[in-house]
């Protein structure tokens, strides 16, 4: 699938592949059809993390000549430490897998970043050589000011131009926890959210520190996604329980939401627990999901780690058929590309049929909330 | 398709406002608001201004009085600064519950007739007084609506209503800001988020001295007192008492004693 090479003119100008994993059916829609594809009582859960400018260019100071490096932050670790992945010379315009490896670093080495911010290597926890723990020469608001002054959005070589920070935010972004945009929520506009609410579809949020999707180091890539922090408000847990009680479906907007909710459900013994935690689950087709019924996602290529997660929502043969239909229809992948809704149809109930639903007709409107 | 929403009572906000972002906060009304919100209403406040030294002094003053405050050096007229401002504030304080768009520019002083203003001067005034507030509001409002909690305040002026000669750039920028706010309020009718514009009246501030150097400071309101009234209005807006109309600070009752504002 070829990638979208720039943000669309308007955020909702992407396509939506409707996949019913039970029936194996696939339909092509404009993204704006989303409200009609959901039912009153369904609950969409979004990741409201804002995206940090997590790519920091700098120079490694080690005796002789300084070497250019790039740090891509993963987020805060214990204490005042941060985790990051070290890249060598070059920038996002080079294919991540083809970039020169970073120079070898030792604990205690300093990297001077743009604007004078200094990061010192505190640890190399592995896997691989590029994952590092850092401490900065400042903390608190001064550190945030330094990061926002020096950083750029993380991006990859499929894009044509350097991104601005506003291009990698959702309309409901709050705390800047994500180092790559939680992109499945990007096409959601307020017009669409109002239509969803009018239809009786509810919206809830959590915050999940979406991490890097590629590092260029096979050993580290194989370990992705690394543990990522999340926080689930009590109101979201209540909304999930209310939705389940009325027979609604829980639909995650993005793979990060699946990880956060399923990790929280695991912690809570099947019931999601409100509060903060670390999402450690790697979700694949082997895993029976506790909580999440459906997924609104970007089009992930079968080579990406995110694709394994999709198999928890649909059998491999259904996904393969859906993806080849999308390919044929010219769907585009990656963060600014097209989307898929993988959602089992709700069991028909009296007074309402699947046929009336699929046309977004009045059948759904008359149902009680 | 009709864009009207079903009529329903305004949802009640879930809990009190905890964090504020205030622009133009190193002096005058902005500083008064930061001080009142931090010290009388217990909010964590992020202060935004262009010049570091007075901004850091303002933060130090609030902190030494027991408040929690944070300095963000930035120009609201710079569109690249917007997400950095909001991101820095949310990273340190948590989700932003209150935005006060207070930073304003008069344009060139002494004030002059429209015919003597350059088009570029008008552009710069609009960036600070209209587009900056629009961008900042856009960057925080979505999260507020999703969370069901938040207030946005635009600091306006009677120059938005009256056609004062020589106040053309400033007055028309504030008139546009008022109307933007009215439309935003209409669009937020079914949300728990409040938005209003307030005319603080004539205050003894540096901006007033630049606009009307001959004014007698004794005849002007103390920005700290006006700030306390606006802080009380914000609390009222948050608890749903206040509609989303244009307000005049001078017409608002004196707030109750410190710490007792509802």
Query: What is the average per-residue pLDDT within B199-218?
Result: 93
Q: What is the pLDDT of residue A306?
A: 82
Q: Write down the pLDDT at residue A285.
A: 87
Q: Which of B247, B250, B229 is CA-nearest to residue B185?
A: B247
Tell me what pLDDT residue B242 has. 58
> Whose structure tokens read 């906000």?
B13
Return the residue in A43, A75, A141, A153 with the most chain B beta carbons within 10 A, the one to mutate for interface testing.
Answer: A141
Identify the band that residue A365 occupies on the pLDDT scale cut at 50, 70 and 90.
Answer: very low
pLDDT digits (tens, 9 = 90+) for B11-44: 555 578 999 999 999 999 999 999 999 999 999 9
Mean confidence (pLDDT) of chain B? 90
pLDDT at B253 over 80: no
| pLDDT of A346 | 73
CB A200 within 8 A of CB A367: yes
pLDDT average, residue stretch A218-242: 95
Q: What integer pLDDT is reported at residue A225 of this predicted model?
A: 92
Distance CA A144, CA B99 (A): 19
What average pLDDT score do residues B160-182 get? 96
For residue B260, is pLDDT > 80?
no
Average pLDDT over residues B151-159: 95
Give A62's pLDDT tier (boundaries 50, 70, 90). Answer: confident
Chain B CA closest to residue A193: B146
d(CA A338, CA A323): 12
Å between B230 CA and nearest CA of chain A: 25
Nearest to B91 among A144, A169, A198 (CB): A144
Q: Catalytic residue, from B134, B170, B184, B196: name it.
A: B170
Question: What confidence score (pLDDT) does residue A363 get?
Answer: 31
User: What average pLDDT is seen over chain A?
Assistant: 91
The residues that bridge with A47 in the sheet, in sequence order, are A206
Q: What is the pLDDT of residue B165?
A: 97
Mean pLDDT of A117-138: 95
At residue A50 the predicted structure's pLDDT band, cuts being 50, 70 and 90, is: very high
Residues of B in contact with A166 (CB under 8 A): 82-83
Segment A340-364 mean pLDDT: 53
Share of chain B above pLDDT 90, in %: 81
Per cent of chain A over pLDDT 90 is 84
The model's pLDDT over A233-291, given as tens digits with 9 standing for 90+, comes to 999 999 999 999 999 999 999 999 999 999 999 988 888 899 999 999 999 888 889 99
**Residue B170 annotated as catalytic:** yes
> Is pLDDT of A118 > 50?
yes
pLDDT reported for residue A245: 93
Closest residue in B to A151 (Cα–Cα)? B84
Residue in A99, A82, A81 with CA at minimum distance from that of residue A90: A99
Confidence at residue B11, expressed as pLDDT on a 0 to 100 scale: 58
Chain B environment of A170 (Cβ under 8 Å): 142
Chain B 131-150, residues with CB within 8 Å of chain A CB atoms: 139, 142-143, 145-148
The predicted model gives A326-340 an average pLDDT of 97
Residue A356's pLDDT band, with cuts at 50, 70 and 90, is: very low
pTM for this predicted structure: 0.92
**A53 vs B contacts (CB less than 8 Å):** 84
pLDDT at position A271: 85
Burial of A218 per CB tally in 10 Å (0-12, 13-18, 19+)? exposed
Pairing of strands B150-155, B98-101: parallel
Residue A362 reports pLDDT greater than 60: no
pLDDT tens digit sequence for B72-83: 999 999 999 999
Tell me: the pLDDT tens digits for A163-175? 999 999 999 999 9
ipTM of the complex: 0.92
| pLDDT tens sequence across A146-159 | 999 999 999 999 99
More confident residue, A183 or A300: A183
| Cβ contact B146–A203 (<8 Å) | yes
Q: How many CB pairs (< 8 A) connect A and B?
A: 67
Q: By the CB < 8 Å criterion, does B7 face chain A?
A: no
Give the three-class secondary structure for B34.
helix
Q: Mean pLDDT, to the nearest integer, of A67-77?
A: 94
Helices (H) and strands (E) in chain B, counts: 8, 7
Report the residue from A171, A176, A203 with minimal CB separation from B91: A176
């Amino acid at each position: 699938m070829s990638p979208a090479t720039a943000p669309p003119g308007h955020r909702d100008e992407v396509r939506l592949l409707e996949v019913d994993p039970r029936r194996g059916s696939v339909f092509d829609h404009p993204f704006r059809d989303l409200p009609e594809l959901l039912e009153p009582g369904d609950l969409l859960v979004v990741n409201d993390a804002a995206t940090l400018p997590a790519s920091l260019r700098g120079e490694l100071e080690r005796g002789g000549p300084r070497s250019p490096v790039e740090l891509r932050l993963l987020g805060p670790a214990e204490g005042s430490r941060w985790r990051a992945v070290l890249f060598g010379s070059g920038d996002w315009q080079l294919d991540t897998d083809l970039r020169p490896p970073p120079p070898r670093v030792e604990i205690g080495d300093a990297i001077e970043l743009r604007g004078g911010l200094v990061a010192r290597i505190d640890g190399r926890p592995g896997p691989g050589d590029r994952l590092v723990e850092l401490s900065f020469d400042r903390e608190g608001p001064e550190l945030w000011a330094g990061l926002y002054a020096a950083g750029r959005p993380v991006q990859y070589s499929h894009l044509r131009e350097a991104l601005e920070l506003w291009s990698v935010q959702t309309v409901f972004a709050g705390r800047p926890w994500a180092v790559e945009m939680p992109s499945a929520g990007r096409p959601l506009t307020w017009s669409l959210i109002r239509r969803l609410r009018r239809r009786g579809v509810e919206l809830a949020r959590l915050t999940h520190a979406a991490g890097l999707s590629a590092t260029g180091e096979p050993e580290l890539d194989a370990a992705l996604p690394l543990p990522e922090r999340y926080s689930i408000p009590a109101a979201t847990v209540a909304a999930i329980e209310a939705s389940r009680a009325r027979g609604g479906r829980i639909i995650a907007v993005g793979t990060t939401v699946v990880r956060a909710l399923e990790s929280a459900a695991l912690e809570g013994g099947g019931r999601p627990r409100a509060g903060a935690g670390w999402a450690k689950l790697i979700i694949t087709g082997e895993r029976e999901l506790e909580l999440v019924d459906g997924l609104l996602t970007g089009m992930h290529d079968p080579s990406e780690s995110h694709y394994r997660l999709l198999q928890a929502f649909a059998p491999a043969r259904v996904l393969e058929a859906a993806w080849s239909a999308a390919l044929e229809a010219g769907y585009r992948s990656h963060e600014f590309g097209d989307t898929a809704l993988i959602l089992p149809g709700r069991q028909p109930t009296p007074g309402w049929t699947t046929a009336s639903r699929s046309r977004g007709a009045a059948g759904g409107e008359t149902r009680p909330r | 398709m009709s864009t009207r929403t079903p009529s329903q009572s305004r949802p009640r906000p879930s809990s009190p406002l905890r964090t504020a972002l205030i622009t133009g906060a190193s002096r005058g009304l902005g500083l008064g608001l930061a001080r009142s919100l931090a010290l009388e209403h217990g909010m964590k406040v992020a202060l935004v201004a262009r010049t570091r030294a007075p901004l850091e002094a303002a933060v130090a003053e609030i902190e030494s009085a027991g408040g929690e405050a944070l300095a963000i050096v930035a120009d609201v007229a710079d569109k690249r600064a917007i997400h950095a401002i909001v991101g820095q504030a949310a990273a340190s304080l948590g989700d932003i519950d209150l935005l006060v768009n207070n930073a304003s520019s008069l344009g060139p002083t002494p004030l002059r007739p429209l015919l003597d203003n350059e088009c570029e001067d008008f552009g710069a005034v609009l960036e600070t007084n209209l587009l900056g507030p629009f961008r900042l509001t856009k960057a925080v409002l979505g999260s507020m609506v999703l969370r069901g909690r938040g207030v946005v305040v635009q600091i306006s002026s009677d120059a938005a209503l009256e056609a004062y000669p020589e106040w053309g750039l400033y007055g028309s920028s504030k008139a546009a800001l008022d109307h933007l706010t009215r439309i935003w309020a209409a669009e937020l009718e079914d949300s728990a988020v409040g938005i209003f514009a307030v005319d603080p009246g004539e205050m003894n501030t540096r901006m007033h001295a630049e606009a009307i150097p001959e004014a007698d400071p004794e005849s002007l309101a103390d920005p700290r007192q006006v700030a306390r009234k606006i802080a009380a209005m914000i609390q009222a807006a948050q608890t749903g008492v206040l509609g989303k109309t244009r307000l005049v600070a001078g017409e608002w009752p004196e707030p109750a004693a410190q710490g007792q504002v509802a």
